[in-house]
């Protein structure tokens, strides 16, 4: 991705916007209390140094000082709480946006979903630091020194003049090291993401590593990745520490100049004690806001890549068509689904995913799409599912263009069995009944239909058995059967099946095909496969190649491989309506 210029993080995430101004205002108020406290402290000291203190005045001054101290602590905490809340809420909002956008686009969209998921949770710390500490400090860093200088100027203009020279130096160094820190932080974030991804990869692949006795090697790999993370981190830290050192040094120098200038004038009798001690106590407060800003700068540097990742993670090409909620609801169980002249542009690729495809999906029959990977089979399924619309051409059912149909209703009638079904963390019941409202009897019957009856009986917890990540481990074949059971339980009008037997051995594959047979019988279905096993379920076979009908395999229309099922209409030539293939 191209590096974008520095910008305020609030423009990236509006969630951070208005509240951060309140946080900053609280921070400035706390700084004002600090300055008032310093002036009161100086006054109290002067009472003791200039002569014998009067009890009444001393008590009044100390009481005011105590009040300033308490108010300052309360306002500082309020600013921090306010900012941290904003940060956590912003991350929660972005997390929600990622989930919603993912579901709205029905696609992961992330190159490394695991890393994005981790950032959406663990990034909250960085954003909380950013909004809770950096944001108020950024404003305090601008306003605080000016206020402090003004206070010093009232007490002793010469000291203020001396300090005014030091401030620009501090700001210059702050800017210089800050820039460096930002670059280094970007590298570190990248290194950490790689480290996370690498660890997960290695943990998943442990069986292979152990099989080849390579686990020790991978331990060293983990160490090596950690080492490169260490180097990246040290680069960031060195920059941050250097900035801290420079700021502290210059601040100290400035304060020492004031002390010496005041001391000499005091000793010479050119100055009274009260303004001198006031200038001296206030002098560090000129630099303190800038120093704290420098210390918190890394928070901004670390929050920025986190925020970018989260914002990018929530941005999807919105391809899922909305349809017309008031539109007609075609019934694919009754009417054929027809694709006419469909063209679909694949994002980021030169070639079209589909290039002028015509397809007729007969009602109540199973149409198989065969062809090499990349032929556009999955894209056809997404079109039929109503998960995206064609860039050109139409998808219609019973004469109703899906673009103008009630797509929510349409999708509710479609069962989708993806190539790699994922089990959601939850019980077996929840996974089968997902979105269908099926009762226990339906769920058990569906599991029985797909040949998982014996498994269900063997489970002590039955339908309450936890599955999904961290639950009962199910084989690839069993996961597919659960997905088929889910489809059966949903009583769909149209079934879409993507590569049901990919990565399965012959026997498991036969079992899955048997299960599918129960689901597909008498239903309108489209089955994508490049495997021969499921073809026995097909009433029609359509060969795809490079986003269109495969002319070379055009004769496959009702090929010998497609066994005519006993309950299906004897294979008649599919009416292709004379549209050129």
Q: Which of residues 474-493 bind other proteins (CB under 8 A)?
A: 476-477, 483, 486, 490
Checking DSSP bridges between strand 366-370 and strand 352-361, what pairing results, if any? unpaired
> Is 230 near other proteins (CB under 8 A)?
yes
Under 8 Å between Cβ of 190 and 112: no
Chain center to CA of 172: 36
Return left, alpha or beta for 364; rule: phi > 0 is left, psi -120 to 50 is alpha, else beta.
left
Q: Which stretch binds other proteins (CB under 8 A): 70-78, 182-190, 338-346, 350-358?
A: 70-78
Q: Residue 529: which residues within 8 A CB-CB, separation 6 or more?
A: 368, 369, 370, 499, 500, 501, 535
Asked whether position 196 contacts other proteins by CB under 8 A, the answer is yes
The reply on whether position 315 binds other proteins by CB under 8 A is no
Q: From edge to edge, which strands make up the β-sheet containing 540-545?
A: 414-417, 494-498, 524-529, 366-370, 540-545, 548-549
Instruction: Find the binding residues for other proteins in span 170-189 (CB under 8 A).
Output: none
- What contacts 81, CB < 8 A, 6 or more positions away? 132
- The pattern of x and - marking residues 255 through 294 that bind other proteins according to CB under 8 A reads xx--xx-xxx-xxxx---x--xx--xx-------------
The residue written with tokens 């100390």 in the block is 62
Q: Which is nearer to other proteins, 356 or 374 (CB)?
A: 374
Which of 146, 150, 175, 203 is in the footprint of other proteins by CB under 8 A? 203
| Nearest-approach distance from CB 49 to other proteins, in angstroms | 4
Considering only residues 395 to 424 of the shown chain, the ones binding other proteins according to CB under 8 A are 411-412, 414-416, 418, 421-422, 424
421 and 500 in contact (C-beta within 8 Å)? no
Contact between residue 433 and residue 478 where contact means Cβ atoms under 8 Å apart? no
Q: How far apart are CA 424 and CA 411, in angstroms?
A: 20
Q: Which stretch binds other proteins (CB under 8 A): 83-91, 363-371, 394-402, 553-561?
A: 83-91
Per the listing, tokens 């909250």 go with: 124
Nearer to other proteins, 451 or 548 (CB): 451
Distance CA 581, CA 578 (A): 9
**Which of 392/517 has CB closer to other proteins?**
517
CA distance 149 to 307: 36
The Cα 424–Cα 213 span in angstroms is: 33
Minimum distance from residue 569 beta carbon to other proteins (Å): 28
* Candidate list 66, 175, 322, 572; residue touching other proteins; CB under 8 A: 66
Q: Can residue 28 be called a binding residue for other proteins (CB under 8 A)? A: no
Find the part of the chain contacting other proteins (CB under 8 A) among 143-151, 382-390, 394-402, 514-522: 382-390
Among 22, 25, 88, 343, binds other proteins (CB under 8 A): 88
Does the footprint of other proteins cover residue 204 (CB under 8 A)?
A: yes
Q: How many residues bind other proteins (CB under 8 A)?
A: 160
Q: Which residues contact 155 (CB under 8 A, 6 or more apart)?
A: 39, 42, 274, 275, 278, 279, 282
**Interface stretch with other proteins, choices 53-61, 298-306, 333-341, 566-574 (CB under 8 A):** 53-61
Binding part of the chain for other proteins, among 15-23, 93-101, 325-333, 534-542 by CB under 8 A, reads: 93-101
Q: Which stretch binds other proteins (CB under 8 A): 138-146, 154-162, 432-440, 539-547?
A: 432-440
> Would you count residue 122 as binding other proteins (CB under 8 A)?
yes
Burial class (CB in 10 A: 0-12, 13-18, 19+), 402: buried
Kindly identify the residues of this chain, within the stretch 537-576, that bind other proteins according to CB under 8 A: none
Which two three-digit tokens encode residue 314? 């929530």
Contacts (CB under 8 A) with other proteins, residues 100-119: 100, 102-103, 105-114, 116-118
Question: Least distance to other proteins from the beta carbon of 448, Å?
Answer: 16
Which of 242, 463, 553, 581 is the binder for other proteins (CB under 8 A)? 242
Rounded to a whole number of angstroms, the distance between the first and last alpha carbons of the chain is 40
Q: Which of 199, 333, 403, 559 binds other proteins (CB under 8 A)?
A: 199
Q: Is 98 in the site for other proteins (CB under 8 A)?
A: yes
Please list the helix, strand and coil fractions of the chain in percent, rounded to the nearest 5, in that order. Answer: 65, 10, 25
**Contact between 220 and other proteins per CB under 8 A:** yes
In the complex, the smallest distance separating the C-beta of residue 504 from other proteins, rounded to whole angstroms, is 7
Residue of 154, 164, 403, 459 that binds other proteins (CB under 8 A): 459
* 3-class secondary structure, 361: strand
**Residue 530 beta carbon to other proteins: minimum distance, rounded to whole angstroms:** 9
Piece in contact with other proteins (CB under 8 A), picked from 135-143, 164-172, 201-209, 339-347: 201-209
If one asks whether residue 529 binds other proteins (CB under 8 A), the answer comes out as: no
**CB of residue 47 to other proteins, shortest distance in Å:** 7
Asked if 155 and 279 touch (Cβ cutoff 8 Å), the reply is yes
Rounded Cα–Cα distance for residues 50 and 271 (Å): 12
Let me know how long the chain is: 581
CB of 411 to other proteins, least distance (A): 6
Query: 20, 23, 31, 120: which one contacts other proteins (CB under 8 A)?
Result: 120
Q: How far is the CB of 581 from other proteins (least distance, A)?
A: 26
What does the alpha-carbon distance between residue 168 and residue 556 come to, in Å, rounded to a whole number? Answer: 80
Cα(509)–Cα(331) distance, integer angstroms: 31
Q: How many CA atoms lie within 13 A of 49 on its CB side?
A: 14
Considering only residues 320-359, where is the footprint of other proteins by CB under 8 A?
320
């Amino acid at each position: 991705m191209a590096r974008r210029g520095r910008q305020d993080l609030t423009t990236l995430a509006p969630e951070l916007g208005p509240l951060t101004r309140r946080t900053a205002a609280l921070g400035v108020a706390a700084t004002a209390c600090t300055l008032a406290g310093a002036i009161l402290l100086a006054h109290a000291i002067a009472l003791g140094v200039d002569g014998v203190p009067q009890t009444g005045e001393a008590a009044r001054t100390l009481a005011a000082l105590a009040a300033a101290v308490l108010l300052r602590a309360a306002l500082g905490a309020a600013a921090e709480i306010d900012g941290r809340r904003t940060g956590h809420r912003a991350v929660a909002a972005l997390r929600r946006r990622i989930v919603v956008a993912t579901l709205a686009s029905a696609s992961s969209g992330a190159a490394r979903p695991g890393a994005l998921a981790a950032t959406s949770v663990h990034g909250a710390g960085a954003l909380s630091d950013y909004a809770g500490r950096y944001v108020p400090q950024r404003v305090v860093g601008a306003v605080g020194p000016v206020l402090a200088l003004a206070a010093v100027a009232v007490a002793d203009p010469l000291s203020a003049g001396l300090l005014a020279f030091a401030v620009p130096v501090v700001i210059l160094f702050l800017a210089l090291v800050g820039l460096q820190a930002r670059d280094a932080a970007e590298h570190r974030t990248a290194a950490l993401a790689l480290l996370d991804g690498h660890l997960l990869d290695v943990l998943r692949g442990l069986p292979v590593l152990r099989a080849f006795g390579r686990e020790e090697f991978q331990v060293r790999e983990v160490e090596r990745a950690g080492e490169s993370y260490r180097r990246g981190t040290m680069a960031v830290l060195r920059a941050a520490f250097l900035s801290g050192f420079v700021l502290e040094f210059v601040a100290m120098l400035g304060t020492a100049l004031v002390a010496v200038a005041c001391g000499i004038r005091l000793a010479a009798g050119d100055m009274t004690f009260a303004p001198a001690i006031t200038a001296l106590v206030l002098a560090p407060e000129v630099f303190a806001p800038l120093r704290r800003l420098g210390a918190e700068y890394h928070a901004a540097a670390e929050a920025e890549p986190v925020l970018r990742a989260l914002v990018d993670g929530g941005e999807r090409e919105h391809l899922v068509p909305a349809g017309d909620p008031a539109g007609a609801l075609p019934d694919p169980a009754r009417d054929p689904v027809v694709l006419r002249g469909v063209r679909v542009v694949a994002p980021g690729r030169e070639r079209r995913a589909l290039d002028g495809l015509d397809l007729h999906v007969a009602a109540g029959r199973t149409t198989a799409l065969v062809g090499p990977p990349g032929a556009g089979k999955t894209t056809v399924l997404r079109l039929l599912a109503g998960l995206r619309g064609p860039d050109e051409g139409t998808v219609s059912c019973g004469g109703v263009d899906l673009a103008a149909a009630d797509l929510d209703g349409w999708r509710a009638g479609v069962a989708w069995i993806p190539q790699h079904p994922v089990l959601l963390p939850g019980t077996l019941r929840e996974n089968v009944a997902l979105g269908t409202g099926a009762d226990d009897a339906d769920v058990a019957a569906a599991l029985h239909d797909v040949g998982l009856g014996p498994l269900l009986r063997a489970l002590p917890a039955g339908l309450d058995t936890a599955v999904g990540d961290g639950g009962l481990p199910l084989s690839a074949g069993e996961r597919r059967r659960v997905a088929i059971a889910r489809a059966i339980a949903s009583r769909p009008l149209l079934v879409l099946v993507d590569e049901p037997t990919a990565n399965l051995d012959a026997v498991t594959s036969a079992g899955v095909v048997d299960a599918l047979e129960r689901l597909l019988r008498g239903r309108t279905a489209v089955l994508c496969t490049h495997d021969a096993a499921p073809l026995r379920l097909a009433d029609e076979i359509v060969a795809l190649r490079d986003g269109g009908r495969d002319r070379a395999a055009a004769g496959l229309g009702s090929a010998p491989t497609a066994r005519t099922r006993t309950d299906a209409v004897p294979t008649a030539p599919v009416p292709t309506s004379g549209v050129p293939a």
